[in-house]
Structure 1
């Protein structure tokens, strides 16, 4: 008896975080947040700021100020975020793509693997990093402006999957922070962690990463481990 023909597998898609995942921009954000909080008379160690990078600006600010115990009015919070935007924009010339970013994106495009970018930053901030990527017109970009809640809520990744028309159980979310991976778990998607944002392998694995690589170049070398066949 002849076996029935096997149907083609459903497409696999990649949903990428931006800062620290594709572009080396985490520490520029950290220094911009330090400048913004210091301008408001709030002293925070740089390492504490780094631990919150990856959240939306508003949620991150709330988490940082919770540690100081200092109340901040909505007007002052908006002022802090404005100074952060301005300070980060001044550092835009120092941004660089991470090793292997262009090669990874080009490889996915060449093999027709759908992919998108989902960032907790608003477009006003994200445009500096996005410009370096030179994304194709068919690569969706979802920013904080497009969703109600940012990471660790799953909204950004859910919106990116919808734009690609790929169900979340066929998506691989790639991020460098625990907030990316927690959002991936809440979206019921597999996640891959990258060390290029400053978190350790054990932290990323505890947050849900089923594979951890150094950077985009390392991920590219191991695409077969995450389900991409290039042959």
Structure 2
């Protein structure tokens, strides 16, 4: 009988909002302010529909709600408000995320941030991390196709120079998991606001608290055994 060896992922690809940092409530507040400024109504269910999606795709939703601005202005206004809230309240880490990210860096496992936020906001988060956290950063303003399209994750693996099939992607939204899975990554869902029961994934972890490099390696080993 062959022995299944545990090997570390070629890279770990991190979603940002809702996975690495708990910023979804900041986005929802910014969205509500924006729509109400144009005398529209924005509900919690409306906000849930947009979790994990691209900002420019979301802009069309706000325009349909009566926001009389062009897409670039909508993106800039929302992002600006979220960045203001980060400045006011600090970076709210998701439980266990920073610890796992730091363990990966100490083990020299390549990492990428794959977010549909714009680069300026991603840089705010990166600056708040007291160690060099990412080798590659892919943002919503650097891709032609937002999640759930596979392009963001394919681009990250390409820039890292690794095989996407040997990468673990960590996500909190159905759109993000769909993107990672379609790209061919080992997709791990860590639920935050939305249920991931119907999203394609290799594993669903209830939390990143206590997650280890060995846990990630076991996913890679299982994936190799299944292929």
> What TM-score bracket applies, with the shorter chain setting the length?
0.7 to 0.9
* Gap runs ≥5 in structure 2: 1-5, 222-227
What is the aligned partner in structure 2 of residue 179 from structure 1?
175
In the alignment, the residues of structure 1 paired with residue 208 and residue 24 of structure 2 have an alpha-carbon distance, to the nearest angstrom, of: 15
Relative distance call for 1:58 and 1:209 in structure 2 (3 A) is same
Which of 145, 148, 167 is 1:149 aligned to?
Answer: 145
Match of 2:112 in 1: 116
* Aligned counterparts of 1:126 and 1:224: Cα–Cα separation in 2: 27
Unaligned runs of 5+ in 1: 1-7
Contact 2:116 2:146 (C-alpha < 8 Å) held by counterparts:
yes
After TM superposition, the runs of 4+ consecutive aligned structure 1 residues lying more than 4 A away are 8-11, 63-66
Contact 2:11–2:162 under 8 Å retained in 1: yes
Whole-angstrom distance in 1 between the partners of 2:52 and 2:130: 22
Q: Give the corresponding residue for 2:83.
A: 89
Residue aligned with 1:14, SS:
strand
- Could you tell me whether the CA contact under 8 Å between 1:118 and 1:142 is conserved in 2? yes
Of 207, 211, 226, 1:215 maps to 207
Larger radius of gyration: 1
Please, what is the CA RMSD of the aligned residues? Answer: 2.7
SS across alignment from 1:15: strand
Once the two structures are superposed, residues 156-196 of structure 1 have per-residue CA deviations (whole angstroms, 9 ceiling, x without a partner) of 1111101211111111111000010111122122200012x
Question: Residue by residue, what CA displacement relative to the aligned partner does 1:68-126 show, whole Å, maximum 9, x if unpaired?
Answer: 5x6x66x4444433321232122113231122222201211222222211100111222
Contact persistence 2:28–2:47 (CA under 8 A): yes
CA–CA distance in structure 1, aligned partners of residues 141 and 75 of structure 2: 15
TM-score (norm 1): 0.81
CA contact (8 A) 2:165 2:184 kept: yes
Distance in 2 between residues matched to 1:89 and 1:9, nearest whole Å: 38
8 A contact 1:53–1:60 mirrored in 2: no
Asked if 1:206 corresponds to 2:204, the answer is no
Closer, same or farther in 2 for the Cα pair 1:106/1:10, shift >3 Å? closer
Deviates more, 1:114-123 or 1:219-228: 219-228
Match of 2:220 among 202, 205, 227: 227
In structure 2, which of residues 166, 187, 201 is the aligned counterpart of residue 191 of structure 1? 187
Alpha-carbon shift at residue 60 of structure 1 (Å): 1.8
**Would the alpha carbon gap of residues 77 and 39 (structure 1) be closer, same or farther in structure 2, given more than 3 Å must change?**
farther
